[in-house]
Amino acid sequence: MYQVHSKESAPEASRATMEAMEKKYGFVPNLIGVLAESPAAVQAYAAIAAALEHSALSAVEQQVVTLTVSAANDCAYCVGAHSTVAKMVRMPEDVLAALRDQRPLSDKKLEALRTLVLSVLRHRGWVPEDELEQAAEAGYTQRYVLDVLTIVTLKTLSNYVNHIAHTPLDLQFAPQAWKAPTAPVG
């Protein structure tokens, strides 16, 4: 069983990152507590998350990507956490519900983004040219695609950590708890 570290129990080299996360969110999310076991892992997660502050994707678009990846990977922790964030960034309720249910979105541009993310996952990055062209026609040009890949990287790290560690959902995210509609692979 993986420990959810507090700032006091974490390795010294993880504590500054945990303190920064606490300052940003008002608490240390359990994911960060698990990642803190490895200073490299928690610092990598925090660095990628901080870099996304410079993303061309809007806050809602970023949550479309995080929720699409997390739902596709059956990560209950991340779907719950990012559903909470999605509400904070004022994602429309119908969009959030569709993402949680893994259904197409009525917003054509956001659906193009969701489709791009699913293609990245399905093709393991070898996205067919015609699908990249469709994303570009919706406004998701090269910079956006690179930002999508950055979020996919971040969410793959957190989704897989949560699968292995069985990270418990924080009370702050509990109202948005989610259960995968299908059994995980394997």
Q: What is the pLDDT along the chain (186 residues), one digit of tens a residue?
A: 899 999 999 999 999 999 999 999 999 999 999 999 999 999 999 999 999 999 999 999 999 999 999 999 999 999 999 999 999 999 999 999 999 999 999 999 999 999 999 999 999 999 999 999 999 999 999 999 999 999 999 999 999 999 999 999 999 999 999 998 755 554
Tell me the residue type at 69.
V
User: CB–CB of 171/67 below 8 Å?
Assistant: no
Report the alpha-carbon distance of residue 110 to residue 115 in Å, rounded.
9
Supply the pLDDT for residue 183.
52
CATH 1.20.1290.10 region(s) of the chain? 57-153
Angle ∠(111,115,118) on CA atoms, nearest 5: 140
Listed in sequence order, the residues at least 6 apart from 110 whose beta carbon sits closer than 8 Å to its beta carbon are 60, 61, 64, 95
Supply the pLDDT for residue 80.
98
Residue of 102, 29, 44, 89 lying closest to 63 (CA atoms)? 89
User: CB–CB of 111/92 below 8 Å?
Assistant: no
Supply the pLDDT for residue 181.
75
User: CB–CB of 78/159 below 8 Å?
Assistant: yes
Place of tokens 């993310």: 117
The phi and psi torsions of 5 (rounded to 5 degrees) equal -75, 145
Angle ∠(75,79,81) on CA atoms, nearest 5: 115
Count of C-beta atoms within a 10 Å radius of residue 30: 21
Q: What would be the CATH architecture of the domain defined by 57-153?
A: Up-down Bundle (1.20)
